[in-house]
Structure 1
Amino acid sequence: MSSSAPKKVVLAYSGGLDTSVILKWLEATYGCEVVTFTADLGQGAELEEARAKAEMLGIKDIYIEDLREEFVRDYVFPMMRANALYEGLYLLGTSIARPLIAKRQIEIARETGADAVCHGATGKGNDQVRFELSYYALEPDIKVIAPWREWDLNSRTKLIEFAEQHQIPVAKDKRGEAPFSVDANLLHTSSEGKALEDPAVEAEEFVYSRTGSPEAAPDTPQFIEIGFERGDAVSLDGKALSPAELLTALNELGRIHGIGRLDLVENRFVGMKSRGIYETPGGTILLAGHRGIEQITLDRGAAHLKDELMPRYAELIYNGLWFTPEREMLQAAIDHSQRHVEGTVRLKLYKGAVHIVGRSSPKSLYSLEHVTFEEDAVYDQRDAEGFIKLNALRLRLLARRGA
């Protein structure tokens, strides 16, 4: 593609200060037409306010789309089948949303004849990588504009000055330094920066917006049942729900019981460590339920191999490599393992924790006949002697040598 200035840009637009400034900066810097795209991923914001603000700023092509079902069905659920956790803890709530936003931006660029796309991610974080790797995987010749790597508006004060010069409304609570930044969608809320930058200091309670305090949670546990088919959750307490409906319901249960809080210092893809406060109430419950149903439906070899593959799979998502052959290859293996992962898991929610207390499946591999401590007619305990001796053979040879 030519290095000339873009004629039309699709901007990932939230309606907030940063992306509103970016909108006007694009027009002022490149003299281009701007198309705004705002995705409803369940972040809880009033998205019509984004439309009104874009209209006020003179935008003609405004896309606001409800992608909640697609987000959970095609991105969150495939990831949950893998039990994906980055660095053993993080449920990848921000990471998994970026490929979908990027995909839709590229589709809108094609629909509107735009020759460029733009995001509001900073030059220090992971999101710039996630957005841009996705853009290029889907449209290799697209022009990508990353204002935070180009402009000199490198402080909140300068952003506000630019906004006032271009008649961009600035909410009163945005004047001065925000205490921390927040990203949210149906899977999670993440908070980082400013008041949270010192990892030695405990985050204050006001940081948490999606979960109640575990200490203040009900003193009586709540029991729920999640139904699974082919590795995906399909029902809650016997009621069939769509993917987004089910995650929404689990989020509310997690909120009530203070489930899903995480204080994490993680290794960013760009090389630095960062501290984030994550809230993933429904996802934490869903992960526990999925592992519960896998316990009785997955063969040992398949289960252990999945656990070996999981860190690699999680790292691919974290690093923005969703639209890659390696992620698709791993996904195919994971999905194959889920063919018989069906049944019901019973969970206890109590004071910030989720406990598996029961599981049943028509495809269960659990055999009471074989495992019972009572008399049985299917397992000859004498067979274990030869099994043990064969496994011990190399150890005995080593010992005789004096290794």
Structure 2
Amino acid sequence: MAKAKKDIKKVVLAYSGGLDTSIIIPWLKENYNNCEVIAVSADVGQGTELDGLEEKALKTGASKLYIEDLKEEFIQEYVYPTVQAGAVYENKYLLGTSFARPIIAKRIVEIAKAEGADAICHGCTGKGNDQVRFELTIKAFAPEMTIIAPWREWSIKSREEEIEYAEAHNIPLKINRETNYSKDKNIWHLSHEGLDLEDPANEPQYNHPGFLELGVSPEQAPDEPTYVTIHFEKGKPTAINGKEMNGVEVVTTLNELGGKNGVGLADIVENRLVGMKSRGVYETPGGAILYHAHNKLEELCLDRDTFHYKQQIGLKFAELVYYGQWFTPLREALSAFVDSTQQTVTGDVKLKLYKGNIIDAGVTSPYSLYDPEIATFDEDEVYNQADADGFINLFGLPIKVYAHMKAKTENK
């Protein structure tokens, strides 16, 4: 049962050091009886964003800061299963923010329990998807835990007012009013929202210095293509250009290769779970390459019916991830189905990266279902073309029956 405000003595805060969570520490202490605030930063590949966080958290009132390295677990247990499912939200979004939230929230719950905390706090806005993703995970692992969401309580109404609050409390920020895009970065992607992007009529400033961080625009990419070969074992990438790598190394390497070739840019007006549409620009160079390569290998290794049905599964899987329903029986059941389909998805995919394009350049697998002896246009001894006559007659029988019925009723 949720605790009353006066009974909350210790709060664990999901802390990024960004604008929202920077002001939440002093706000919590002002509004929750000078409670103890323990900050938790999950390292899912934000890079330099974590620099100086401990000093900043302690100076603004936190009693301690945990920095948890979750990068490899994030890739292996959340990213790869989503890629294996072929899950893409609304045909474009590779779910970079979506599947990072469950692993972060799960670790925060573990720390909150170990610390004997009375509540967990997050900095997600009341308009966004992340509040749902965080809180559904908290409910899955600590159903009785009190959740504090300042954006649903405080009088602050805008990022401008947040900056004013920070300045009044002498909280240092890495942003300013002119470059105040709302960004989310991890090892998988970088999202950009706000400012000129709030009008879908505006073209993203891909060529503007400082806008893109993970790569360049297609126009600025080299005139020579880059070839890359990715090896998969049971649907998971394990090597690039013959070199074995862990998950972090795979994604980091592909981000580099894709980024320099202008790959993986997406401009999306997406349907948020809360009902509104939002416009964002996403950089996912390595992710775009992995999705493409994995799908190419499945073309070769999965039978027709499984391949087609799995495409339907991918749509639902993407919804579940986007909606924050990672820790649900349905997601786990769909993952069990996907795991079964991946047993023969082993092989090598060669791709050509060129000015924003990912071009197929060859695929091989010991489990290939492509039989050149059957598929050939030349003479073969496997496929009797005359057999197609009976097949078409039976397959087309319902159409023929319907046509007879239609003709009879029209004649009447």
Q: Normalization by structure 2: what TM-score?
A: 0.94
- Find the counterpart in structure 2 of residue 323 from structure 1: 327
Q: Which amino acid aligns with 2:3?
A: S
In 1, Cα distance between the equivalents of 2:214 and 2:266? 12
The answer to whether residue 288 in structure 2 is matched with residue 287 in structure 1 is no
Deviation digits for residues 5-25 of structure 1, max 9, x if unmatched?
Answer: 222111111122321210111
Deviation digits for residues 70-109 of structure 1, max 9, x if unmatched?
Answer: 1111100000001111011110111010001100110110
- Find the counterpart in structure 2 of residue 14 from structure 1: 16
- Find the counterpart in structure 2 of residue 204 from structure 1: 205
- Find the counterpart in structure 2 of residue 27 from structure 1: 29
Deviation digits for residues 178-224 of structure 1, max 9, x if unmatched?
Answer: 44211111111111112210001111123322220101211111111
CA pair 160-395 structure 1, distance change in 2 beyond 3 A: closer
Q: Which amino acid aligns with 2:216?
A: G
Q: Does the 8 Å contact 1:250/1:282 carry over to 2?
A: yes
Q: Which moved more, 1:258-267 or 1:22-31?
A: 22-31
Q: Does the 8 Å contact 2:36/2:63 carry over to 1?
A: no
Secondary structure in 1 matching 2:396: helix
- Find the counterpart in structure 2 of residue 239 from structure 1: 243
1:377 is displaced (CA, Å) by: 1.4
Secondary structure in 2 matching 1:15: coil
1:278 is displaced (CA, Å) by: 0.6
1:158 is displaced (CA, Å) by: 3.3
Unaligned stretches of 5+ residues in structure 2:
408-412
- Residue correspondence of structure 1 range 1-400 to structure 2 within 5 A: 1-5=1-5, 6-30=8-32, 31-171=34-174, 173-174=175-176, 176=177, 178-205=179-206, 206=208, 207-400=211-404
Q: Does the 8 Å contact 2:129/2:272 carry over to 1?
A: yes
Deviation digits for residues 241-297 of structure 1, max 9, x if unmatched?
Answer: 001110000000011100000111010000001100011000000011001111111
1:227 is displaced (CA, Å) by: 0.2
Number of aligned residues: 401
Q: Which amino acid aligns with 1:10?
A: V
In 2, Cα distance between the equivalents of 1:246 and 1:263? 25
In 1, Cα distance between the equivalents of 2:158 and 2:229? 49
In 1, Cα distance between the equivalents of 2:400 and 2:157? 67
CA pair 46-94 structure 1, distance change in 2 beyond 3 A: closer
In 2, Cα distance between the equivalents of 1:390 and 1:158? 70
Q: Which amino acid aligns with 1:348?
A: K
Moved over 6 A (4+): none
Q: Which moved more, 1:254-263 or 1:391-400?
A: 391-400
Secondary structure in 1 matching 2:343: coil
Q: Does the 8 Å contact 1:226/1:344 carry over to 2?
A: yes
CA pair 178-385 structure 1, distance change in 2 beyond 3 A: same
In 1, Cα distance between the equivalents of 2:169 and 2:222? 50
Q: Which moved more, 1:246-255 or 1:36-45?
A: 36-45
1:44 is displaced (CA, Å) by: 2.2
Q: Does the 8 Å contact 1:191/1:276 carry over to 2?
A: yes
In 1, Cα distance between the equivalents of 2:315 and 2:76? 22
In 1, Cα distance between the equivalents of 2:285 and 2:165? 38
- Find the counterpart in structure 1 of residue 410 from structure 2: none
1:161 is displaced (CA, Å) by: 3.8
In 1, Cα distance between the equivalents of 2:19 and 2:130? 18
CA pair 397-154 structure 1, distance change in 2 beyond 3 A: same
Q: Normalization by structure 1: what TM-score?
A: 0.96
Secondary structure in 1 matching 2:104: helix
* RMSD across aligned positions (CA): 1.4
In 2, Cα distance between the equivalents of 1:167 and 1:180? 21
In 1, Cα distance between the equivalents of 2:38 and 2:228? 44
Q: Does the 8 Å contact 2:54/2:65 carry over to 1?
A: yes
Secondary structure in 2 matching 1:339: helix
Q: Which amino acid aligns with 2:88?
A: L
Q: Does the 8 Å contact 1:40/1:67 carry over to 2?
A: yes
In 2, Cα distance between the equivalents of 1:163 and 1:45? 21
1:177 is displaced (CA, Å) by: 5.6
In 1, Cα distance between the equivalents of 2:164 and 2:194? 22
In 2, Cα distance between the equivalents of 1:334 and 1:389? 35
Secondary structure in 1 matching 2:293: helix
